[in-house]
Structures are given as C-alpha cells and as structure tokens.
Amino acid sequence: MASRLGHRAGNAMIPPHRVVLAAALLLGAGCAIPTPPPACPNGTEAARELTAWFGLHSAAGGRELTEAEWQGFRDRVLVPAFPRGSTVTPGRGAWRHADGRIGHEATRVLTVLVPAAEEATALARLRAAILAYHDLHPQEAVGVATRPACALGLF
C-alpha cells in the first residue's frame, strides 16, 4: 500500500525524494534518446530541403551583383547542379560582421528539395556552387540550412 510520503516496494518504504529522483531520471533519459523523424504520410516521399542565402553585396570592392550577373550564375551553375529544379526568391538579409558591425544587403534565397537518400550528393553540389559564387562574387559567408521534408510528386 502506498503512503502519502513515499511508495511501498514490497515490505520496504522508498523515501519520497528517491521516488521523485527516479522519476526525473527516467523522464530525462527519455529526452536524451534521439528519435527518428516521423514517417511521411502515405503517398509522399522522405526528402530534404536545402536552403542557401546568397548575398548580392561583394565583400571585396563593395559593389552589388547585378541581376544579369546573378542570372548568369544561376543558369551556368545552379541549374546544372540541381537539374530536377530549384526555386530562387529575392530577400533582404542582415548579419553581424566579424568586427561587430551590422550589415544589410539584397539576397537571393535558393531552395532545393531532394530525396532524403540524395542529401549528401546535393550538399556536395551546393558546396561546389558556393565556391563558384565566391570566385564570381566574394562573400564573408553563404548561409546554408537543411531540414527534413515530405515530398509529393516531385521525384
């Protein structure tokens, strides 16, 4: 029979602080175990979404890439790297320079969706595209993020 101050295990009474400690350890341990992402709904396929932020303001020389220069880079580098397709949207970026100043610039946001099994290959292609962009238009950084997704009818 349980008491108000503890829990009876067999004939021995477990002090309440140990019951709370044991429960906390068990609950905390559950949080530390990585869990796989949820399965995609029927009819969809596991995918990865890659997003890259290409600033248009040059770190060397201070000029902004023209629309024609961006389109040339997109057509020459990005389209062949991601032949299944990609989306580029205009944006405005802000970041902190290494010296602490806040910078703002026009940005092009690249979004690519690939089958989950092809993520490593897609990231390698994206790294190569970023190096080509740095050759054309030096940047302090091109930001990249990936996240799990479910795709319908894209692959």
The answer on pLDDT for 29 being more than 70 is: no
The answer on pLDDT for 115 being more than 50 is: yes
Identify the pLDDT of residue 38: 67
Mean pLDDT calculated for residue range 21-25: 43
Are residues 26 and 70 part of one domain?
Answer: no
Are residues 80 and 26 part of one domain?
Answer: no
Q: 40 lies in a domain? A: no
Query: pLDDT tens for residues 121-151?
Result: 999 999 999 999 999 888 878 999 999 999 9
- The string over 17-50, giving b where at least 16 C-beta atoms fall within 10 Å of a residue's C-beta and e elsewhere, is eeeeeeeeeeeeeeeeeeeeeeebeeeeeebbeb
Are residues 77 and 4 part of one domain?
Answer: no
Distance CA 39, CA 62 (A): 46
Identify the pLDDT of residue 45: 94
Are residues 138 and 64 part of one domain?
Answer: yes
Mean pLDDT calculated for residue range 25-54: 76
- The phi and psi torsions of 66 (rounded to 5 degrees) equal -75, 165
The answer on pLDDT for 16 being more than 70 is: no
